[in-house]
Amino acid sequence: MPPSNVKGPRIKILLDAIFEISKTVQKNAVIKVKYLYCFSINIQRNYILNSAFLRISRYNEFVLKSFAKNKKAFADFEILEKIEAGIALKGGEVKSIRDGHAQLKGSFIEVKNGNALANNIHISKYKYDSNEKFNPTRKRRLLLHKKEIAMIASKLDTKGLTVIPLELYEKHGLIKLLIGVCRGKKKYDRREELKKRARDIEVAQAMKKFSRR
């Protein structure tokens, strides 16, 4: 509970200021809180610090850390729908992913015996893993609801559609896999996309030169 001699709105304004600064420079969040304390007249120190640290920690839980992206999928396919899935991993695989040793290029999703499986996701062997039979591209089961698996199966049965892993990332301390229902781009679409990208680069360069004047 806040101190009885302090008005609620004043505390809220100070906490909001601490929180906004911590979002922009998370590494210096502790230092920022200590500096801002000198402005907290008549506010008990423990209450302010504890409340600020609590809000900062809650914010950090929602920050996603990306480990691998399937850039080729974004270039060659039109992403029609995205689905977040858990993935069954072994301890060494989790550590290897967090060390940045995972690749999604050439991977795909299949449904077999009522399970959604990720194929060809390359996860290098963890340096301290003693398993001699380690397979870096083994099939890995996705953690999804039955309705989601049925939906993926129906998309795979649709002509011209496929389901591809798009990104590996961490959320709430767990490794998640973002998969996409995709349709291959036609050559005309690819050419138009390359032209648009070239135009965007030219515009960005022109703006940069103009800003220097």
Q: What is the pLDDT of residue 101?
A: 96
Mean pLDDT of 32-38: 46
As annotated, the residues of the chain forming the CATH 2.40.280.10 domain(s) are: 65-188
Average pLDDT, the chain: 79
pLDDT at 84: 96
How high is the pLDDT of residue 44? 52
Residue 203 token pair: 């515009």
Average pLDDT over residues 143-149: 97
Res 38 pLDDT > 60: no
| pLDDT tens digit sequence for 71-81 | 999 888 999 99
Over residues 149-201, the pLDDT tens digits come to 999 999 999 999 999 999 999 998 899 999 999 998 876 566 676 677 677 77
Strand partners, 175: 170
d(CA 9, CA 110) in angstroms, rounded, equals 54
- pLDDT category of residue 48 using cuts at 50, 70 and 90: low
Residue 8 corresponds to which amino acid? G
The CA distance from 208 to 213, in Å, is: 9
Written in H, E and C, the secondary structure of the chain is CCCCCCCHHHHHHHHHHHHHHHHHCHHHHHHHHHHHHCCCCCCCHHHHHHHHHHHHHHHHHCCCEEEEECHHHHHHEEEEEEEEEEECCCHHHHHHHHCCCEECCCCEEEEECCEEEEECCEECCCCCCCCCCCCCCCCEEEECCHHHHHHHHHHHCCCCEEEEEEEEEEECCEEEEEEEEEEECCHHHHHHHHHHHHHHHHHHHHHHHHHHC
Whole-number pLDDT of residue 198: 74
- CA gap 95, 182 in Å, rounded: 29
What pLDDT score was predicted for residue 75?
87
Which of the two residues, 179 and 205, has the higher pLDDT score? Answer: 179
Write down the pLDDT at residue 29: 45
pTM, entire model? 0.64
pLDDT digits (tens, 9 = 90+) for 88-103: 999 999 999 999 999 9
Mapping DSSP onto H, E and C, the string for 90-134 reads CHHHHHHHHCCCEECCCCEEEEECCEEEEECCEECCCCCCCCCCC
Fold of 65-188: Small Protein B; Chain: A; (2.40.280)
